[in-house]
A and B are shown apart, each in its own frame.
Chain A
Amino acid sequence: MTTARRLVHGLSRKGHPLALSSQRRSNSTKVEPPPAGGHLPGVANSKLLRTTRDTALRTPGISWKDEVSSGLGGRETQKMNTYQAVRDAMAIALTKDETAVVFGEDVGFGGVFRCTMGLAEEFGKERVFNTPLTEQGIAGFGIGMAAMGHTAIAEIQFADYIFPAFDQLVNEAAKYRYRSGGSFDVGRLTIRTPTMAVGHGGLYHSQSPEGFFMGAAGLKVVIPRSPIQAKGLLLGSIRDPNPVIFMEPKILYRSAVEQVPIDDFELPLGKAEILVPGSDLTLVTWGTPVYHCETALHVLNSPSKELESIIPASVRSAKIELIDLRSILPWDMETIVESVNRTGRLVIVHEAGMTAGVGGEIAAEVQKRCFLKLNAPVRRVTGWDIPVGLQYEKFHIPDAIRVVDAVYAADWLSIHDRIVTSVLHGTL
């Protein structure tokens, strides 16, 4: 495990998204360009990212947490990528809460993804510090601090390495309040961890383990899609009165750039966000695949010459509703069910494998609640039920073309229509 980790860090000196330049220790707020060619083309031109001050300040659901009540007039934004927004959120938490501490492997010098850059210098080593290399230790230590009413912001270096802490998180953190009848709780615990594929992460730098935690009643699981979302949801997670696992899609650390409000704000946990309204099909996803889905909508709308003949013209004008789930546990059933009741079709997209993934849970609940409104079976576009092989990633992840295929092949002609057609043609 360690060897693999170090290998990747060694590789990362050349400047891809894992990059960790030993020369640059200062907390740079300058946005760096995504790597040449990009690992996630969709994100560079995404319309979902808020690149102006005005749109950033009008982020839906934003709730300001500072004393200033001057409306939006006096508020400023700054261009940030995702790791800078994460760092900004932690700096605010540390500034406003004297009990807050940030710890984990290699966070002291700024973190292998730069998320804690400059925090140790700014807030002191007693508040931002390295731990020995022990994930069960990090989680347990955070539980102990939180049980004492301190704000513990722990980092697990990669979500792939959260499993040694599974017992601490599922048996201890999740059940702390319940088993003590509310006498004790670890609500001030937040576990941050980089997640999802990064282009070349292989088996242990690519995983999406959110599904494993979906049954851990007592925990919350949150995954942001962008810098504004990362800052607002992370501050919301840090201050939520429950332990939260906050999974940051690592491929977006440098590639997703937005104007981020510099003030203290939160975004709500447990609430999905409708990114693109539509009436023909509901597309639900979270994290990195949000951009694959956005790309898929463009491809459906105006396919390239090569794809034109493959994708039926009938779907070109389809109005597809794109939803970012944001919180995996608890998930926003109401928003999804309301949407599917309008559209009659649902496609769920996630990077983790299909079997026992989050998509299965959502699909089961939606078919129960929307049975009479469903015009087609619920479909899932996910990673295959295999580990993430290094050389096969492009064929493993649920990228735009797989989403396109699922959307138009998702029985565009409704089951009802097909039955009628079959009866008319005597083929039923």
Chain B
Amino acid sequence: MIRPWRIAQRIALQSRPFSSTTCSRFENLPKSNSPIVSKLDFFNSVTGNGSQIPTYRVIDGSGKLLEGAELPEMDEAFAKRLYENMMLLPTLDNVLYNVQRQGKISFYMTAHGEEATIIGSAAGLDKEDEVLGQYREMGVLLWRGFGMDNVMAQCFGNEEDFSGKGRQMPVAAGVGYALRRDPNRRGRSIAACYFGEGAASEGDFHAGLLLASTIPSPTLYIARNNGFAISTPSKEQYHGDGIAARGPGYGIDTIRVDGNDVLAVLNAVREARRRCLEQGRAVLLEAMSYRVGHHSTSDDSFAYRPRSEVEDRKRIDNPIVRFRLFLEAQGWWNAEAEADLKARLRADVMKSFKRAESLKRHELGELFSDVYAGEQPWNLVEQKEELGRLLRKYGNAWEPWKKELSKFKNNGEDVMGRV
């Protein structure tokens, strides 16, 4: 396992001999172990020798094991499961992306190009670990058996939808600390927090890593560095050496991984997780990849990057193809299995989609529920009644409401007080 921060320390010590006048007494720096030097010397890169933090990789673009690299512990069945889950993402993405284009759902975000990062990290976590995502990590849920029907339910907002979304980096630190305090989960579970390199510019990134390292809380921060935050390229997002360079500043173990190499991600996440549990504090993992798809269905990425660049990336380094080549070299996969899987996934997704499309939404009254636990405040009670009154009066006469009401279970009659 490559440990760049250790190497960096060693290089720094070798290439930068401290002045022979180094003072061994630190009492003038009461809160620091910093040696005193007499030479004026600024520094920048955390690696000390000016090179960037290295990227950890296990298999190359043709699926071959790198010299000196170790394969993660896994059997054929596990490897196939990794691949099938990676393949599921583009299958779902293609259907739901097109469904959005037809106006059947309002919004969607694909994970094209980041399949290895998402599935590899999900596989490296324990099922009991708490996951706090951004929005491009649906694959983690699928890996954990969330089920396609639930994905569809959430996208359609139908009556089977019970999921939630969106947490943040300091929140993950709190989750990690709660796990540490729980006698049943202490030393067993960690919090894993996903975010993009753009989100890492928020103050919450600083707060989250700072808290999880200082308090300390077993929290694994997984940065998906895919090169873009909507239209903003990462070179306009930061001037330093990516996200990984920040980890050492918080005093936390850090690694940069090839996010297109599912086995490298798996190895790194397993080791990062072990360190989280061992040290009880934060670990940072930066997975380097490329956002092949548009940011979302509301974005046309060719407005800010050439189509050829995207096509090149897809051709040069596709995380799914790379892993398939590895599987084939192992004798675990072939063209027939590939065709079968594609057909099966497509059929499953379409079946789930058709089912989700046919379901009604929740009762309209759910609009007002779950704002508060316990007694509903008077204003919400009255406002729900007011909506009911308006619906009784205009529900059949006002076209925008009439059409919309029919999509809800009970056609809004629950709010009108008729059910």
A172 x B163 contact (CB < 8 A): no
A181 partner, pick from B161, B167, B175, B377, beta carbons under 8 A: B161
Query: A2 on the interface (CB 8 Å rule)?
Result: no
B203 x A148 contact (CB < 8 A): no
Smallest CB separation, B260 vs chain A (Å)? 31
B370 partner, pick from A129, A143, A178, A330, beta carbons under 8 A: A178
A333 x B204 contact (CB < 8 A): no
Complex interface: chain B residues within 8 A of A148 (CB):
130, 174-175, 178-179, 182
Task: Count B interface residues, CB 8 Å.
Answer: 45
Smallest CB separation, B24 vs chain A (Å)? 30
B377 x A132 contact (CB < 8 A): no
Question: Which among A140, A149, A240, A242 has the greatest number of chain B C-beta atoms within 10 A?
Answer: A140
| Of B209-217, B302-310, B313-321, B402-410, the one touching chain A | B209-217
Kindly supply a per-residue 1/0 record for chain B positions 363-381, scoring 1 wherever the CB is within 8 Å of any chain A CB and 0 otherwise.
0001001111111011110
- Chain A residue nearest in CB terms to B161: A181
Query: A61 on the interface (CB 8 Å rule)?
Result: no
Complex interface: chain B residues within 8 A of A132 (CB):
207, 210-211, 214
116-168 of chain A: CB within 8 A of chain B = 126, 129, 131-132, 134, 136-150, 152, 164, 168
- Chain A residue nearest in CB terms to B165: A179
Smallest CB separation, A381 vs chain B (Å)? 25
B373 x A144 contact (CB < 8 A): no
- Chain B residue nearest in CB terms to A240: B374
B373 partner, pick from A138, A139, A241, A270, beta carbons under 8 A: A241
B177 x A141 contact (CB < 8 A): yes
B178 x A140 contact (CB < 8 A): no
Smallest CB separation, B205 vs chain A (Å)? 10
A218 x B372 contact (CB < 8 A): yes
A126 x B176 contact (CB < 8 A): no
131-189 of chain B: CB within 8 A of chain A = 132, 161-179, 181-182
B178 x A145 contact (CB < 8 A): yes
A129 x B215 contact (CB < 8 A): yes
Question: Which among B162, B164, B172, B366 has the greatest number of chain A C-beta atoms within 10 A?
Answer: B164
A136 x B164 contact (CB < 8 A): no
**In the complex with contacts A148-B179, A148-B182, A241-B374, A140-B215 CB distance below 8 A:** no
- Chain B residue nearest in CB terms to A146: B174
Complex interface: chain B residues within 8 A of A149 (CB):
178
- Chain B residue nearest in CB terms to A135: B207
**In the complex with contacts A144-B176, A242-B372, A330-B379, A172-B207 CB distance below 8 A:** no
310-325 of chain A: CB within 8 A of chain B = none
- Chain A residue nearest in CB terms to B154: A181
| Of A4-12, A182-190, A343-351, A384-392, the one touching chain B | A182-190
- Chain A residue nearest in CB terms to B175: A144
324-383 of chain B: CB within 8 A of chain A = 366, 369-375, 377-380
B211 x A330 contact (CB < 8 A): no
Complex interface: chain B residues within 8 A of A99 (CB):
178, 181
A152 x B378 contact (CB < 8 A): no
Complex interface: chain B residues within 8 A of A142 (CB):
174
Complex interface: chain A residues within 8 A of B380 (CB):
217
Complex interface: chain A residues within 8 A of B53 (CB):
none
B170 x A139 contact (CB < 8 A): yes
- Chain B residue nearest in CB terms to A219: B372
B378 x A141 contact (CB < 8 A): no
A144 partner, pick from B161, B177, B369, beta carbons under 8 A: B177
Q: How many A-B residue pairs have CB under 8 A?
A: 145
B207 x A136 contact (CB < 8 A): yes
- Chain A residue nearest in CB terms to B372: A242
B174 partner, pick from A134, A144, A164, beta carbons under 8 A: A144
Query: B242 on the interface (CB 8 Å rule)?
Result: no
B370 x A141 contact (CB < 8 A): no
Complex interface: chain A residues within 8 A of B391 (CB):
none
B164 partner, pick from A101, A134, A146, A180, beta carbons under 8 A: A180
**In the complex with contacts A179-B164, A218-B372, A136-B178 CB distance below 8 A:** no
A179 x B166 contact (CB < 8 A): yes
217-274 of chain B: CB within 8 A of chain A = none
Query: B16 on the interface (CB 8 Å rule)?
Result: no
Query: A334 on the interface (CB 8 Å rule)?
Result: yes
Smallest CB separation, B190 vs chain A (Å)? 12
A106 to B85, CA, bound (A): 47
A240 to B134, CA, bound (A): 29
Complex interface: chain A residues within 8 A of B366 (CB):
181
Question: Which among B169, B206, B366, B374 has the greatest number of chain A C-beta atoms within 10 A?
Answer: B374
B369 x A182 contact (CB < 8 A): yes
A422 to B379, CA, bound (A): 39
A145 x B210 contact (CB < 8 A): no
Smallest CB separation, A153 vs chain B (Å)? 13
B168 x A333 contact (CB < 8 A): no
181-209 of chain A: CB within 8 A of chain B = 181-185, 187
Smallest CB separation, A61 vs chain B (Å)? 15
Complex interface: chain A residues within 8 A of B164 (CB):
176, 179-181, 183-184
B378 x A334 contact (CB < 8 A): yes
B174 x A177 contact (CB < 8 A): no
A136 x B203 contact (CB < 8 A): yes
Complex interface: chain A residues within 8 A of B211 (CB):
131-132, 134, 137, 140-141
239-273 of chain A: CB within 8 A of chain B = 240-242, 270
Complex interface: chain A residues within 8 A of B175 (CB):
144-145, 147-148
Query: B191 on the interface (CB 8 Å rule)?
Result: yes
Smallest CB separation, B14 vs chain A (Å)? 33
Complex interface: chain A residues within 8 A of B176 (CB):
144
Smallest CB separation, A126 vs chain B (Å)? 7
A217 x B371 contact (CB < 8 A): yes
A139 to B210, CA, bound (A): 14
Complex interface: chain A residues within 8 A of B204 (CB):
136-137, 140, 168
Smallest CB separation, A214 vs chain B (Å)? 11
A137 x B207 contact (CB < 8 A): yes
B207 partner, pick from A134, A150, A181, beta carbons under 8 A: A134
Query: B120 on the interface (CB 8 Å rule)?
Result: no
Complex interface: chain B residues within 8 A of A134 (CB):
170, 203, 206-207, 210-211
Question: Which among A132, A218, A220 has the greatest number of chain B C-beta atoms within 10 A?
Answer: A132
A334 to B379, CA, bound (A): 11
A230 to B241, CA, bound (A): 50
Query: B208 on the interface (CB 8 Å rule)?
Result: yes
10 contacts between A and B (CB under 8 A): A129-B215, A140-B207, A141-B207, A141-B211, A142-B174, A148-B174, A148-B178, A168-B204, A177-B372, A180-B370
| Chain A contact residues, CB within 8 Å of chain B | 99, 101, 126, 129, 131-132, 134, 136-150, 152, 164, 168, 172, 176-185, 187, 217-218, 220, 240-242, 270, 330, 333-334
A-B pairs, top 6 by smallest CB distance, nearest first, are A144-B174, A140-B170, A180-B164, A137-B207, A148-B178, A330-B377
A141-B211, A145-B175, A187-B373 known; 8 new pairs, CB 8 Å cut-off, are A136-B207, A137-B204, A139-B170, A144-B176, A177-B372, A178-B370, A178-B371, A241-B374
